[in-house]
Amino acid sequence: MDITKSQLSISHLKMICQLERCETVKEAAQALFITQPALTNRIREAERRLNTSLFYRRGRKIIMSNAGKRLLQSAKKILEELARAEHDISRLTDGIEQVLRIGLPHYASFQWLPKLIEGFNHQHPTIELEISSEAANQPLHALFNHDVDIAMISTASADLEIDEKNFKTHCLNQDELVACLSTQHKYANKTYLTAHDFIDETYVTNSTVPEKDREYELFFKPESVIPKKVLQVGFNDAIVELVKANLGVSIFSRNQLKRLSYDSDIKLIPLGEHGLTLYWHLVYANQQLIAEPAESVIAILQK
């Protein structure tokens, strides 16, 4: 594929992204700060260059065709990458030669973050370490899509199978998933909890989307158990407060709980008779510009 023969410009990509958000051409034109005839001509120009219809009309509304949806998918990625490149280049004027992005899951603990940034800045003053919030739900997926350079993930195995040609991985430490419940809860004195103990409970979590190698896949799914009610709360501290008030139960990793303000009102109980062990890994692209500073990140974290 010869990318020099592309038929479309950035204005066409911005056009289709804006049209997705608007119901009419008039609304999209106003958002793009151009006239309605100018936007209509831009649509026709794109369709002429691609020799296909990108939209069809239903009354005053415009509906995206399958071809338009396919273009939209790529347009979003291209514009996101362009914005990222512009941001990185703007940092170069401040003496930064490289931006290194780390994707972290939202269930990670962060008490180590200040020391990491301080130590990394001392060792690599021309590299800016950026924590990406866009990769919170699926940091490994973001790494494979090149949205981040480094991903921190937890798995149930100390050995992480990965494409060794394009990526490297390092196991940082061992962790454990534990049940988190009020000392007033009926199960507070149990030695351990099984998945079936959660059947009639209100389970409080920060994500209702099942995540790989976390409690759903490792604990609930093997026993075909789903808690009676799942309450999504976007903040871990809020989850702890609800658990303290005995309004639900939750599951955290021990490392994650170290930074949360839980006290004697909270009881931590192992999951299963032998506990549920997790391993934290750092995965990074196997490229010289990334591998060298990534190894510095690993060394600092291990300290």
> Per-residue DSSP letters for 228-240?
SEEEE-S-HHHHH
**pLDDT of 36 strictly over 70:** yes
CATH annotation of 100-303: 3.40.190.290
Cα separation, 231 vs 218, in Å, equals 20
Identity of the residue numbered 117? I
Smallest Cα–Cα separation from 291: which of 164, 179, 204?
A: 164
Query: What pTM was estimated for this model as a whole?
Result: 0.62
pLDDT score recorded for residue 184: 93
Tell me the average pLDDT across 269-290.
90
Residue 268's pLDDT band (cuts 50, 70, 90):
very high
How many percent of the chain have pLDDT more than 90? 23
pLDDT tens-digit readout, 206-237:
776 666 678 888 899 889 988 989 888 878 88
Name 63's bridge partners: 56
Rounded mean pLDDT of 84-105?
75
Taking the C-alpha atoms of residue 63 and residue 73, their distance in angstroms, rounded to an integer, is 15
pLDDT at residue 2 is higher than 60: no
Which token pair is 13? Answer: 């990509």
Note the helical H segments in 66-170.
66-92, 113-123, 139-144
Give the pLDDT confidence of 166-201 residue by residue, as tens digits: 889 999 888 899 999 999 999 999 999 999 999 999
Mean pLDDT of 89-108: 75
Query: What pLDDT score was predicted for residue 263?
Result: 67
- What is the distance in angstroms between the CA of the first residue and the CA of the last residue of the chain? 47
> What 3-state DSSP class applies to 21?
helix
Greatest CA separation for the chain: 72
The pLDDT of residue 210: 66
Q: Strand (E) positions, the chain?
A: 55-58, 61-64, 98-103, 127-132, 150-155, 167-182, 202-205, 229-232, 250-253, 266-270, 276-285
Checking if the pLDDT of 88 tops 90, the result is: no
What is the band of 287 on the pLDDT scale with cuts at 50, 70, 90?
Answer: confident
> Of 62 and 272, which is predicted with more confidence?
272
Amino acid at 288: Q
Q: What is the pLDDT of residue 5?
A: 64
Rounded Cα distance between 26 and 296, Å, is: 52
Comparing 8-89 with 100-303, is the CATH topology the same? no
- In the DSSP assignment, the letter for residue 41 is H
- Separate counts of helices (H) and strands (E) for the chain: 10, 11
Average pLDDT, the chain: 85
- Could you tell me the pLDDT band of residue 258, with boundaries at 50, 70 and 90? confident
d(CA 43, CA 19): 10
Is pLDDT of 94 > 60? yes
CATH 3.40.50.150 fits 8-89, yes or no: no
- The full set of domain ranges for the chain reads 8-89, 100-303
